[in-house]
Structures are given as structure tokens and as C-alpha cells.
Structure 1
Amino acid sequence: MEPNLLPVFYGEKVSLQCVIQGEPTNGPWWYRWYRDGSLLQDTGKEVILIQRDYHSRYKCTASQRPGNELESEPMKIPVMGIPKPTIIIQSPQQPFYRGDSITLRCDLTQGEGWEYHWKRNAIPTATLTVDPQSPVFPGENVTLKCEIDSPEGWMYTWHRDISELVNKTVERNITITVNDAKSVEGQYWCQGERKDRPTASQGSNTVTIHAKALPKPKLAIEPQSPVFTGENVTLKCEIKNQPGWNYRWYKGNRSHLIPTLTSNTTTIKVVAKSDEGPYWCQGQRTDRDTLSQLSDEIHIRVKALPTPKLTIDAPSPVFPGENVTLKCEVKSSNGWKYKWFKKNNLDPVATSDTNTTFIRVVETDAGIYWCQGERRDRPISSKPSKEAHLHIMPLPEAKLTAEPHSPVSTGGTVTLKCVIESHSNWTYKWYKDTENNLVIEESNFTITRATDSDEGTYWCQGVRRERPTSTQLSNSVLVGKRGE
């Protein structure tokens, strides 16, 4: 690589050579150059680079025949800004007197190998400023300003990388319109030249301009539509990985700006039907009027809280022990779970992710019921349903009698009868001592030749195939033995 001394400074040209150690002389060699993996040129041992090429990686290949290539290691060129020297008065200390000898030293903090040239009446230095600061965006105008301490009598030359941009203009400012990133990106610097003689200022500082495409913000909504009157809705507008933006919000159409909103998040509290419609957002640079692209549209649909319909699916009449179906329907809307309540009871009697639940009723379940839906994804409830009545008819009574009445003599006979005054086609179950101890199934229960083991408490119950399929458990009868 030439120049042979590193580092390389902005403004220099760099020559790269592809050298083969112990290169044989039998036949020609073909060379190829690659920049960042892409073919740059395919002939010649040498390639000349200019400043805008510095930040890439280079390698070369050499071959005498296809398929037999030698490949170099990749090289990235270290580049430094041109250092600015500092003059130091070594001796004597101030104040100075006529006839004093003054020793000056010129200091450079970067690198070695410099020659020093001294001039009296120092040449002024140009200072370059840019507005707006990077990044800049398509459609913007970028103003570069070149300032010299003694501003009168100068003409200005403007440079981008190592090329002249504008030559010898009396204007200290130039304006560049950003069409795309490639048209403006680069390192800029300026220099002044006296109008009346060929004396130039020192070159200015370098300013790097970066350009980016206009970003498109992402608009999100929480919760997702549909939303219901009374809920809070949050909209969030985000331009990722780019600080320095305020935000504009639009509703209804893209020209209807909501003037009071500037942050990236806005919450519509207690949403109403009037809040329904399409929404967009857009970024605006905090330091200037540049706007991003518009976000995609989000449409807020606002619905009134629904009133579910409660139905009770049960045979008529309902008897204890039978199953009853409770159904709570929210029409034209999905995403609900359900709760069923009995009047004057704050705790639900049943909950379900579906709109149907089943209960096996007892007499105390009779009463007034209502239901309510609740969103699965957030704590918002529907209106309560209308009330519905659940009527439960008691099971028929069974009456147990004994003939003769207790007590009975040892070896005697006692007949138990189970009387059911409603319905027909009953068969009878008889229980002794406990309500679960079934001893016989017959119409009448006769105990003959009574013994000690027959003593106890008896009940009966009627059962049949039709509804109601059973009676209540009868009254109890005590069968005891008369003492001898």
C-alpha cells in the first residue's frame, strides 16, 4: 500500500498493489480486486483509491490459469482526520521586551514524520457549520456555512470528500437539497481565498452528513377493537431506533390533525361512539418541521355494552334432583366468558368460558336468576341480563304407617304401608336404621315372627319411570319389641 507510512489522512490518495512473494516469471499473471466481497476490477496489479472508498475492506487475487487463484488477506485502511498543530511559547515567560529571543514549539499530538513550516501572521482558519444536524431526510434543505474570523474580502470553495463542490463563490452559505442518501452523504469542508491575492485560509473542520429514508411509524392499539363505551383506549405511535421525534395524530381523514396531542402515546378515556373512526400518526422532528411517513390506519370500532339474554332450559315442572340448563347469550360479539347470579347474592352460582352451564337442582335453588358477560382479555363487563324465574315443585310426599302400632310381641307380625297420594305406578323402597340401608323393594313390607333383629327405624320412598321419578323420603316409624 502506498503511501508507505500509515495512517492515511482525509484528502490523500491511496495506491494498493497486489504482490506475490517470489513471483515466478514463466507466464503472465491476472489480478482481480474486490471491495466488500464485490468485484472492483479484474486487471492490473494496482488500484487507486479516493477518500470515499476508504471505509471498505479490500482484497486481491492472482492466477495464471482458471481455478488456481492465490488470495490475499482482506485489508481495511486506517483513516485519520488531519491534525491541527498547536503553537507553544517555550521561553521566555511573558511579558516580552524589545530584543528578547523567543522560542516557539509546534506540537502535533497525532503521529510522527512531520515537517514543519513556519509563517508569520498566521493564516485564518475556516469554520464549517451545518444546519440541520444529521441525520437528514429526503425533501430537506441542508445549509452549510463557512465562517472566517475576518469575513471581508474572501471567496469560498466547497469540498465533498476530495472533490470540489462549489469553486470560488462570494456566498458563505450554500444549500443542498436532499433527494436521496447517495446524493448528499459524505465529508464536507470549506476554504477561503482572498479576492485580491492568491492567499488561502486554512481548510475548515470536516462535517459528516448522514442521510436516511423517511421512516414509517408503527401504530398500535390496546385493547383491540371492538371497544365498548366506557372503556379506556390507548394508541401508541413508535419510530424504532430513531430518537428526536414528536408525534402528530389524525382522526377521520389525513388532513384532520388533532392539535393537542404530541406524545407517542395517547389514551382516550371513557370512549364514546363519537370516538369511532380511522386514526393515523406521524412523526415530526423535534428540531425542525420535517415529517415522517404516515403510519398505517387503525380503525376504532365502538360498541354499546351488550345486554345478554338469559334462558332457562328445564322440564315443566322442575323437581329436585333434575338437571337444569342456564344459557347466557351475547349476540354479534365473541370473546366473552359468563357468570350466573341468583338474586340478592353477590357471588356467582356458576361461571363458564362458554355461554352454557348445568346445575342439578335442589328445592333451595328455586328463585330469580340473571347473568352477565365479561371480556376474556380485559376487565370489562356487559350489562346484566333480564331476570328469569326458576320454579321447583317439591317431590310428592310418602307417608309410612305401621299395623299394629309399635311395640310388637316377640314372634308377632307387623305390616308397614307406604302411602303416596299423587301420581301412580309407584314401586317402593324400604330402608332400615339409615337412609342408605335399602332392605327390600315391595309394595308393602310385612315383618312376621318379629325378633330382636327386626327392631329399628324404618322409612319408605316411591320410585317410578315417569317424572317425577321419586318421592320424598317418608316419615320414620320405630318398630320396637314389647317386653315379656
Structure 2
Amino acid sequence: MSDAVIIYQTVPNKPTVTLQPSWAQIYRGETVSLRCWIQGGDYRWWEYEWTPTNTNAPTSREYRIIAESNSREYRCRGRSGFLLTGWSEGFTLKVSSSKPRATLTAPRTTIPAGGSVALSCSVDGSDGWRFDWFRDGSDYSAAQPRGNNEAITVSQGGLYHCRGGRGGGPTVILQPSWAQIYRGETVTARCEIQGGGGTQWEYEWRPARLNIPPTSSEHRVTDSGEYSCRGRKDQFNFTQWSDVITVTVSSEPRPVLTVSPSWLSPGASVTLSCQVEHLSAGWRFYWYKAVPDRSKKSYSYELLPESNNRTEHDSYIIHGQTHTAGYVCRAGRGDPEYYTDYSDSEFVWSADLHPAASLTVSPDRVQHFRDDPVSLNCEGNSAEWRVTRITETGLLSYCSESYWGTMTGSSCNIKHLWTGNAVFWCESGSGEFSNAVNITGQISIKPTVILQPSWAQIFRGETVSLRCEIQGGDDREWEYEWTPTNTNAPTSREYRIITESNSREYRCMGRSGFLFTGWSEGFTLEVSSSKPRATLTAPRTTIPAGGSVALSCSVDGSDGWRFDWFRDGSAYSAAQPRGNNEAITVSQGGLYHCRGGRGGGRGGEPGFYTEVSRKVPIEETLSIKATVILQPSWAQIYRGETVTARCEIQGGGGIQWEYEWRPASAQVTMLEHEWLGRPFVLFHVMLKPYGKLRGTAQGITPPPIRKL
């Protein structure tokens, strides 16, 4: 056998180098830390690699550096088990070779009698400083500090100066270094002050509940929180606060085991992977074989002998597995050791028959209808058997302990198959697994989505219903499920919809007891955003004397309409309807228009209306006689003479008429019923009543006027 070769898988998690403390300017001789942060990698335990290297362990998340005069570029990457990130972008640490000088500022240099003066100290272009004050060459302990002592108030004369200092402050260190712990675990938070040797410190902690005298440099942490500390020499001299360390306490973790592959093939190895949520440092992994335990209706666990009790990595490879088997994992850490819960059992299946335990299916096929009788038979070196099923959703159950089957001796008679894929196998009383079989449950009943009413075109704002029809399911009581859902109960057969401008796809399925149909094919409800306009059609616009005209109303490209008719702006109740009132017969002149309505509204009225049609004028022909009379009644006149042509309408009394004359040169003003004739003119007359157009009277041709 060859030497083992480790193959790493590159993951997309991106590491980033950050500076701690995040000072804008670093000076030669200062100590800083670079921290490697892996985005999206908080749930794993990482080992870290740096370039260029230093004396820190290569697994350290922090790179502690004493700054030199030259600037350098640093990179990091992480490794977790067999997973490896790429290198981070380079972080250039720029270092100034010159030592900075503090600046003391006083608004005035004379203290008034009984008064005081405020002094301030600063270091240009940099931050994070804490200041010491001196008077006449000695420490000035009478200073009244503010903040990091950058300003004091003095009431004594003297020669004052100041200096700044930073770094060497306190740091909270966790032992073990687990920021994520679990209920029942304890870590120790220790306050370390760099460069504070030889000083008797008292310690302050945040949160304040930790400050129980005498104050200690260590605290045992069992609760979630943000922890920081500082040191105090006396009443006026104390360090800055440390950076905050966040500790999170969670409930007992339950690892997740994955098995690959799920189905065995000849010569293949099996890889087990055990993942702990919010994976932190220090975990060791334990690997178990699941052994059927019929007395407890579950499994007992036996450590895999090849695993040497535990492993440092979260994965484990099994060679030579040939039969169906179940596995479990858990993790532990610390001293005394803290253990997670056991993972759920995961299985690797083999289709090969095994002499000690085998499973056969009757009828012997992979696909079965849900209500078909199916029998699973266990055979082998045992008198006690149970049949186990796991669905494609990961639900594990046993025959006779749930609704789907009844166990009789060594046979399981299935009452209801799972719709979809499920794997079945036998487990013997002596702890053996049989071969596994994959069975697909299908349903023969198919739902269909139907539109009610079945209009060819739907418009925005209309209310329609979708109905779920289940073919061949009339003898069952169904509950229905729709997608997308609305405020209707999910058991409703109908999905009532007020249409919107966008088209959507709808599906339905049915459930009757433990019987499910599949989802129907998608039904796309196409909706037109524009409101339709009715169209009024008239074969002619003039009603003959004593006759009528048929008018029709329609909405192009759609159906199911009932129409309302209007004459001169009011509802036309004298219409003679046909069908849904789409056509009427009229015998009166007027200005007509129509509109369509459909759907169920209140009081039996339509719930949706079209725009009204354009208005169409209909003229009515009257049977009244018009006569032209000459005054004087000379049919022969001479040049220079004048006669008057008068239009008289028989039976037209009480009506105000407008008159038209022919030829057009004979037109006169409105209401004029006389015309002063000229020689050599032939003419006849047409009449209209005054006001709105009502009709046209019959015209006559008068005798010609001739010149002598």
C-alpha cells in the first residue's frame, strides 16, 4: 500500500487581515497584532498560516509584531480539516522610523488668584495615547484626569511637561480560547497587562457584576456577554480598557452526520463527516456503528474499532464496507471532557442480498401506486424482524409503529405508500441489516385547474374563480392546497381572485386522509391591463318612415357580456332585447350608445363594466308632406319681377322646423320658410324639425320659373 497523500479542497471563504489596535500611525518599536478574519467561516475551527512567518505558532489567528523601521506586507489563510481557503489580500504595515513628540497646550500661562488653568497634551497625526504629567521634573499626581488623561486642570504654578504612551495595555485572554461555548461548559477570562511587570494592579471588569472585591485578574465565564478589563495602580492612575471579547453560550450542540455515498458500489469506501454548529477549537470526534435494538425500538451505539477511539479531524473513511449499515457521531472537548449529543443515525445502503438478512418485495417492481397492496418480506438467521423506512425528506419510521404498514411475523404489509421515493430494509433481532430497496409511490389521480367563468379574455379588476378538479376522485372527500396561497382557507376547492395587471401561474393538489395527489399542471391566468370599450354597430343610421333599425353591441375578443343601452344620455327601457341584450330594435331617432357588464356583483348586477361605446346618431324619416307654393302663383314671370316660394308642411303644426332648400343658392337663415325667387331657377325643398336632428321630410320639386 502506498503512503497516504492529503488532498485539500479550496473553499470560497475569503480571509482578511485587520490591524489590532487599529491605529492610523505606527512607530518603530511598537507592538501590534494582525488578526486573520475569515468571512462566513465562524462555524468552523480554523488553523492559520501567515506570510512572512514569525515565532508564533502557525495555527495562531493573531500575528504579534514588534514594528521595525521598514514597511512589510502580510497575508494569511485558513485550514479546517481538509478544507483550505485562498490567501488574503496583502496588508501593508507602514512604520514611521521617527519617534513622535508630545505637544503641551495651555490657553494661558498665568493662574488667576484662587483659580486654575486647563492643560492639554496631544500627539499629532496619531491616536490611542494615554498621557503622563510632570511638574518640576516629577510625576504630577495631583492632576485631575479626563478621559485618557489628555487634559488636566492645575491650580499650582510650576514647570509642566507631558508625554504620551500607548500599547502594553490590558488584554482579555480566554483559556481555552473558545468564544463559543455550550451550556455546562466554562472558560476562564484572564486580564493580562503588557509591560506591567513589577506593578501591583487592581482589576476592573465589564460587565460590572464581575467587580466583587477583592478584584481578580481571572474570572470563570459561564454566561454570554461582552467582557473587557483594565488595571488600576491607585485612585488616579489606571490603564485604558481592553478590547472587548465576546463569549456566546448556546444550548447543547447536536452534530450533523453526513454519509457519502448513500448507496454502496463494489470496492468503494465510505466517508463520514461530522459537523458541529458554530464549530470552535478543540473538538475531537467519536465514530459509532448503529446496532438495531428492537427492545428499545431504536439503536445502540458501538465505537468503530478502526477509529482508535477518537480523531482530531471531522471526517472519517471506512474501507471494505459491503452491506447496509448505520452510523452515528458525536464530539467532545476540554478537560474534563464536555460531550455533544449524538447525531441522528445515517445509513449507507447496499442492494446486494445478504445471507444473514435479506429483503424481497412483492410485486417485485420499483414503482407502485399509492393504494396498491405491497408486501415486504424479511428472511435470514433470525426469528425477530422489523422493517425500517426512510423517506426522501429524512423521516425514519418502522412498520406497525405508524400508519403506513402492519407487521405480521417477518412480513410488512404496506397500507399506504409514501408519495415519492423511500428506502426500505429489514433489521434482525441479532443486529443485522438486510439489503435495501428503493420504492417510489405514485398517485393515479390527477388534479386540473379550471377557470370559472371560462372567459377567453380577462381584464384587470374582474373577479374570477379557479376550480381544482380531481379526475377519478369523486368518491373521496378532499382538502385542497393552492400555490400561490391567498387569504382563502387552504382546504377550499375554489380560489377566488380579484385580477391584477400581471399574469400569474396557479397550481393545486388534493389531500384525503393520508392520500395525496401530485400538483396539477400550472394554469397561467393572463390578465389584460387595459379596460375594454364596447362597440355599437348599426347597419344604417336612418329609420325609414314607419320602420325600425337593428343595433348591436359587442366587446372584441371576449365573451360573457350582458349589455345596457342608452338613448339621449338615459337608460333605454324600450329596447327589444335578444339573448344577453347584445342586439335591440329601435324605431325612434336619437343619440344611442351602449356598455357591457359581466361577473357577479351585488343585487344580481354585473361586477365589472366596460367603457361606454361611441355615440351613434339615428335619424327618423317622417311621413309628413312638404309643399312649395308661389306667391303670386305666376309660373311665368319677366325679368325684373319677383315671386315668393313658400314651404308649407301638412300636419306639421306645433313643431318648430328648420328648412333646407335646393339648389344650395336658395339657402336662407334658420326658420325661413319663404324664398324670393329669381328667374331660371329650378328648386325643391328638404325639411328638418328645429332642435336635435329628428328626421327628414319628403321633398317635392316645384314647377320651374321661366323667363319671357
Q: What TM bracket, shorter-length normalisation?
A: 0.3 to 0.5
Higher relative contact order (CA 8 A, sep 6+): 1
TM-score normalised over the length of structure 2 = 0.27
